[in-house]
Structure 1
Amino acid sequence: MQTDPMKLGALLLATAGHDAQAFRTLYDTASPKLFGYALRILHKRELAEEALQEGFVAIWHNAAGYNSQLAAPMTWMATVVRNKALDIVRRANAAADGAAVPFDGDVMDTIQEAAANPADQLQWSSDAQALARCMARLEGLPRQAVGLAFFHDLSHSEVAQQLALPVGTVKTWIRRSLEKLKSCLAREGLA
């Protein structure tokens, strides 16, 4: 099916007005691609289906918070589904052994590419992995708020708009998350 950004944006706008038919069309249009994305993360069909379902529930409830100035429609929806998939991984890991979920691979790659020489890369890699472990211990939406603020350089109000939350909530989440990161990094020997 066609995943034209203009069409998807219009469907998201209609979904924000709780137009069930538009939401159904949005689902029919975007779900194959988003399911494939969830499946790449989760590697199990039933878990990918769960992430997709949770993702579309979140899309239904948060469509009004979508901002075309910050992300393309498919990118925004993929982020929602990705976060749901990572929540599933985190829950499974916590149930198994309490280990943290790896943090965003793209962020890790970007951090590692910043190092100029092998010695710097080794240090960056170690520091980045510690940061990733600590970020992975944060809950889903607070982690996303920190990521948007610091890795995507968005203001608190832009993060609030992106997540369709009050600015005060976002500020509180970021402040508390930074405190948790500081404590975690101290345990890792970095703070």
Structure 2
Amino acid sequence: MTTPADIEKMIAQIALRDHSAFSALYDATSRKLFGVCLRVLNNRSEAEEVLQEIYARIWHKADSYAVTGHSPMTWLITLARNLAIDRLRTRKTPTKDIDTVVDLADDRPGPEAEAIASSERARIEACMDELEAARADAVRRAYLSGETYKELAARHGVPLNTMRTWLRRSLQKLRDCLTR
């Protein structure tokens, strides 16, 4: 595990243009800094670009890092956060990560599906016409309007169990009609 003292030493060596220290700092800190950028920007490709800017800035400005007793990660995270916020402010339009893009495809059925649905509706209506008018009305109200058996029984002036029988037998007749 890399300690704050190790990171401070790497930054000091980077100020002297030590490539191996730069590589070690990248390995030790890039995940954390990328996470900061990704949280701010919510866009993977922009976060990757900002991460590159961060390390370019570290390479060029390592000599400006002053040991203050605070964690050197605080300096790096502040740098990452500020650059990510700068990128966020310069966006012309808000962007979304590929994972969060809404599918804009048209969900409406195509002409073939509409023709099939229309044909099915016509078959169902023809079968409904074979039922007695009161029973067809009860089926429509129960299964299309959501009325309860109790409400239907009161509407049609029949006992509750009679309404249940009407609906059960009507559904059986509809099934038989639709399978012909």
TM-score by length of 2: 0.50
